[in-house]
Amino acid sequence: MSVAPSPARRRWRSAARWSLVVVCVLVTTASVLVGWTARRSHPQFDGVIELPGLSGGVEVLRDEWGVPQIYADSAEDLFMAQGFVHAQDRFFEMDFRRHVTSGRLAEMFGESQVATDATIRTMGWRRVAEAEWVELDEKTRAYFTAYAEGVNAYLAGKSPDDVSLEYTLLALTGLDYEIEEWTPVDGLTWLKAMAWDLKGNYSAELDRARLAAAGFTPEQIGQLWPPYPEQEHLPIVTQGTVVDGEFTEAAPDTDDPAESWPIPRSAADALDRTLRVTETLSGVVGSDRADGIGSNSWVVSGDLTDTGMPLLANDPHLGAAMPSVWYQVGLHCRTVNQECPFTVTGFGFSGVPGIMIGHNGDIAWGFTNLGPDVTDFYVERLDGDRYLVGDEWRDMEVRDEVIEVAGGEPVTIRVRSTGHGPLMSDRDEAMAATAAGSPSASEDGEYGLALRWTALDPGNTADAIFALNRATDFEEFRAAAELFAVPAQNLVYADTEGNIGYQAPGRIPIRGAGDGTLPAPGWDPDYDWQGFIAFEELPTVYNPPEGFVVTANNAVIGEQYPHLLTKDWAYGYRSQRIRDMISGTAGPVTADDIRRMQLDSANEGAVPVLAALRELPDLPAQTRILTDWDLQQGADSAPAALYNAVWRHLLAVTFDELPEGSEPGGGERWAQVVATLLAEPGSPWWDDRATGEVEGRDEMLRIAVDAAVAELTESQGEDPAAWRWGDMHTLAVTHATLGTSGISPVEDVFNADPIPVSGGDGLVNATGWDAATGYEVDAVPSMRMIVDLSDFDASQWVNLTGNSGHAYHKNYADQLPLWQRGALLPMPWSPGSVEVTARLSLEPAD
């Protein structure tokens, strides 16, 4: 029998239902209002718009992915239109970037960003860019100026609400914000940010200093930062050296090159290779890249391809951001001549004119980070605002910087610089402690840490962009590379005549004393830089006999090279795997082969660990799923889930004595470290600090396995066959500003939902993760591109997210599902290849 609810209970239920209805209505209304407000700022893609300053008509054709192909009759009109289009799609991102690079974030986001601004002001990125501006080629300045005029033409007459939803939401926080006009220098400063992202061994040098200050011996530090295994993982340039002031490929590298540069391992089935290596070389050197951000690029000669022409591939690995760091665009002079020499398509940066990576009508090129050691820290002995050089005390350069703060009072900082550079320890207590504890600081007194960095000297990298965009052959390509000062990149090359090549560019220092691996004593002039490696002496390759060039942040060249580029390369797992796949391809290499290579997730760094595990009896039954593992780390892989959990726990328990900030991240370097230690079962590293005993290798492996099995059983259930790597290894593409606001409805608007992904750290499919913090992805192939030199219209590309920076826009994240499953889109080149969905005419204003 049922009991009727009391009147009070009926009233409560009725009120609850109405409350729920009201909440739903309010949420729906808010969502509609936010969506309407967002769409208010969406740009016009069709029709006619008048642009003051244009000398002639410009046409902008877009496909369904929102990628613009711009057609103009003059170079200035072309770049003015590019500025207009960038502002249409990405102005908030551009505005945010210029605030970052100028040390003005606190003007937008308040007191929480003062420390960030202070650090950037101390380095003086904006000041360096302003100094660079006057040194650039006249045409480069004209192109940047035209670009800025295009941006400002778009902004004219618009309120912040008209430009982007982010401004509307920031206004709700009380920010009274007016958009400033765009200046040419605003774009130059972004190149400093990219140089910072790709600055080489900055963190490695600090880590060694941190370890030394914590009492670790040089031998121990050397075990944690081992040398590059060039016998197992070939460098980019496999022979040659400097002869009479010029790099010569034909120069012998050793007396026995066959022994020094072995033929790459065959690209046989991954499991067969695993078994073979573990049987014969148990515990031999593995590898992986040094901690940091990397990339892959390679080019295959027509001698090896199905078309008889080169194929060029590139996938730079950067942090995952919404929108993606890259913007896809085509720039076309209707008639290519001296005054309008550009017809080029590819990936660029919003805020910067031109194309960074892509192809023109004659050549294609790709980038990876060369990673030379272009940053040195100097421990300076101080006396107030003076620093010691030899026996002489010199005055520092001192200036005040005023940081404006939204909702607060301005903050003034003092920036001090020695002859080596800005005193970074003034901004960072950890750096100050590192300076005081450095082996260089042997006497009592006051010490600081100054930064010497090539990017803090004015350079001509902006000139290199346009020189690359209009280069027609390898000679002009190398001339453009010579201008590329920072960040120094591995440049791969192919042309429509069938040639392939490689060039190492960049301003790379020559040191007096020291090797740049630890902070140097600033008071000793012997440690000062003595100049830079001449461009003519930097490694280069043209049509190598093996028919391909592979760069993946691995060593550029071997020990025979007379100059020090760096001691902190990636450890060559990705590069060697790519080499093996190219060499092992059955039949001619196709574009689809290249695409599969980009998605390859073989974890060859696991080989020595698996070998050691096979030697242990009585492991948990769950480890049987590793027996037939092919090393591939697909999102659905159960063995990959278990192995990476074991790997993470093994690192944590083995290296638990390392100081904060030096925890193992699990990349290629740590694969190299662990592979070496596996051959030393009694090494002191094999201990759990909590027990006070040296457990030994086998016991530590058991501890890691038990912890991994327990973790996965709790998180994914008792059936190991149902465990999934992608359930742990997820990618959350996050908006750079509001994506971490802590306000869930705001984050839902701007962020992409987390997605499971394949790959891992140190793999060709480099979806990086930090073992010290979790399995979540922190770096990705930020785009993928394959250029077909036999038919540019057959080229393919994909962006991480989409070309638009506007929330609720159809092109905001439309490429993310394609990227996730490894699909590529056609990369339009000829006008007839563009599947036009929108046509915008930009006309001169009367």
Q: Which residues are catalytic?
A: 295
Mapping DSSP to helix (H, G, I), strand (E, B) and coil, where does residue 316 land?
Answer: strand
Q: Which helix (H) or strand (E) holds 590?
A: none
CA dihedral for 662, 668, 670, 672, sign (positive or negative): negative
Distance CA 314, CA 492 (A): 9
Distance from C-alpha of 206 to C-alpha of 548, rounded to nearest angstrom: 36
Per DSSP, the three-state class of 339 is coil
Q: Assign 603 to helix, strand or coil.
A: coil
Q: Report how far residue 679's alpha carbon sits from residue 670's, in angstroms, rounded to the nearest whole number.
A: 15
Report the C-alpha gap between 478 and 499 in whole angstroms.
Answer: 14
Are residues 664 and 772 in contact, defined by beta-carbon separation less than 8 angstroms? yes
The Cα–Cα gap between 672 and 284 comes to 9
Q: Give the DSSP letter string of 18-80.
A: HHHHHHHHHHHHHHHHHHHHHHHTPPP-SEEEEETT-SS-EEEEE-TT--EEEEESSHHHHHH
Distances (CA, A) of 818 to 308, 727, 800: 29, 19, 9
Q: 3-class SS at 276?
A: helix
DSSP string, 367-420: EEE-----EEEEEEEEETTEEEETTEEEEPEEEEEEEP-TTS--EEEEEEE-SS
Are the C-beta atoms of residues 550 and 307 closer than 8 Å to each other? no
* CA quadruple 828, 829, 832, 838: dihedral sign: positive
Rounded Cα gap, residues 752 and 757, in angstroms: 14
| CB neighbour class for 479 (10 Å; exposed up to 12, middle 13-18, buried from 19) | middle
Neighbours of 592 (CB within 10 A): 12
- Asked whether 529 and 511 are in contact (CB, 8 A), the reply is yes
Report the C-alpha gap between 441 and 435 in whole angstroms.
7
CA pair distance 731, 781, nearest whole angstrom: 12
Q: Which of 671, 681, 679, 678 is nearest to 647 (CA)?
A: 671
How would you classify the pairing of strands 520-521 and 375-383? parallel
The alpha carbon of 750 is separated from its chain's Cα centroid by a whole number of angstroms, namely 21
φ/ψ of 819, rounded to 5, equals -60, -45
Extended beta strands in 697-753, E state: 730-731, 734-735
Contacts of 616 (CB under 8 A, 6+ apart): 698, 701, 702
Q: Give the Cα separation of 96 and 190 in Å (integer).
A: 10
Give the Å distances, CA to CA, from 756 to 376, 518, 547, 724.
Answer: 39, 39, 36, 9
Whose CA is closest to 312, among 493, 491, 475? 493
| Residue 205 counted as an annotated binding residue | yes
Query: What are residue 62's phi and psi, to 5 degrees?
Result: -120, 145
Interatomic CA distance for residues 508 and 419, integer angstroms? 18
CA–CA distances in Å: residue 713 to residues 361, 375, 613: 56, 45, 20
Cα 124 from Cα 196, distance rounded (Å): 12
- Tell how far CA 97 is from the center of its chain: 16
CB-based contact 553:294 (threshold 8 Å): yes
Closest CA to 721 of 660, 664, 799, 641: 641
Binding residues for Ca(2+): 205, 373, 376
